[in-house]
Structure 1
Amino acid sequence: MKKNSKLNKWLWKWHFIAGLISLPFILILSITGIIYLFKSDYETPRQKHIKEVVITDSPISLQEQWKIANETAIKKPNSIVISKSLNHATEFVSGRFGGKSSLFINPYSGTVSGEIIAKQTDMHTVRKLHGELLMGKFGTKIIELIASWMIVLILTGLYVWWPERGWKLKGYFIPRTNLDRRTLYRDIHSISGFWISILLIMILMGGFPWTDVFGENFKTVQKLTNTGYPATWRGHQLKSNIAGTSLTLDQMVLKAKAIKLPGEVTVSFPKGPKGVFSVSNFNPSDLNTQQKIHFDQYSGEPILKLTWKDVGVLMRARMWFMAFHQGQFGILNWWLILLTAIALTIMSVSAILSYSLRKRKKNWGVPKVPSSFKVGYGIIVLLMLLSLVFPLFGISLLLILGIEYLRKKQSRKIS
């Protein structure tokens, strides 16, 4: 591919400016992302005394445990996680996502072994720093803006990196160690960026659904195209036929166990006398196995069974990328995310070091572009598309262009 030298300089300029502004935030994202990958390793030993119990006599009924949970939990539980081992405390869950809390009951003594409130955990703080800089909605929008510009950084970086005079192993795929330090740091930055570019785009795609603007727009598209979860997934519209006595929780859990769903299996409780029991499994390592089955709370008969095939294509894509983003597809996925985050940290630090060696006093060192350069229609169309997909990027681009226009107008007046 023969490169346009003027376009190359223009893209290098904006890559430089965007990188200079984004780098501190990118470092926060990569470092907090690395820490969060070790969530399970960090929390398991610290929560062991809550989640594990000593096996003694026969356990008390789940129905009795449910009663204890209702009387003890901060919020009334809406579901139970089916235990996989006899030495596990019974987990009753209230709320969802960041508002989730879990009450654990010793099934042998009936005592509460502890309660884990998501918002009060260390890893929740790390996640909030990663997703919103501990600044709420405003911080979320900053992260979304930085992530949008990261897409631009990757695309412009690949163009600038692309060899102009033929391919060479050193300088394009392997850093040159026999030249000056600035060249070494620049090579580390550009080459590591090349190697992780596709993975980084995939990781970013898995993060965007959590954002405010893009995330809400994506949900709107799902709703308009009917490509999200089916309306009956949560079962709010389904009704049980009131007849006799409701099943006990023990009876319902036996039915749920008989289905033999993989992953973490949850039984959601009926909401009122006409509500339904709902059995679902969380199995991100194999999304195709996820199911949701609604049962009549009196007869115990299944009312509706939904599988992953019933979920819309956009929601399936969204959940796939979100699971990939968190390294939930097994050990290979986990290592890919970890190594990409480490490479991103190295790439960011090497960029700062290269810049510090390049920068002169009283000069930001922004690359210059020939005054004769005119942006082509292809670039304009690409920027418009990116602005439509990532609105915060579009707004920031308009702001930058406005400042650039005023700066040029002012310099003409002075001259």
Structure 2
Amino acid sequence: MTEYLAPAGRRAKLNKTLVRWHWISAAVSLIGMLLFSITGITLNHASQIGSDTRVHTHELVLPEAVLQPLRAAAQQKSTELPVTARRWLEQRIDIAVRNDQAEWSENELYLSMPRPGGDAWISIDLHSGELLAEHSDRGWLAYFNDLHKGRHTGAAWRWFIDLFAIACLVFCLTGLWLLALQAQRRVSTWPLVALGLVVPALIALLLIH
């Protein structure tokens, strides 16, 4: 038999459910909100903070045993590096070869591997075997700033940002409901909510050129 709840009881149950979702979404998104809030400030003042970029360059000559599979892959226009070449590169230079989108020209292989907080690339002359590689590191601040922007972060981090945004949306909507419950007892509730809308709107309309 279905339990009957009076309107007041249903409202109390709904409020209890919303409060539960409010604190759950707050707990889930707390660390993410701290991260994105701090990096929002560092991004806004990136020119004042600055960063020291460290660049490492490598010049090597590939052995014939590594070059042969690369030449074969070049003829097939394969987007993936041969396993032997990949292992050799990772052993000789301090670059994790995780991006297999190889770009082939007539006598050259170019591999671009951008990442949060830095960049890396490898160029190999398939005729002579000469290799030129470079990787740069702009520091931890640039790393977290790039995480904020989702720059070169891969699919897993993009999924995290989407799920984090949903948790923040739940947090805000349930918070709005709780504000509505308190509005009758706190007359400043809606003026403060309106202030949060009016201030950025006026800045955008009047002060952003």
Q: Which TM-score applies when normalising by structure 1?
A: 0.27
Higher percent of residues as strand: 2
Higher relative contact order (CA 8 A, sep 6+): 2
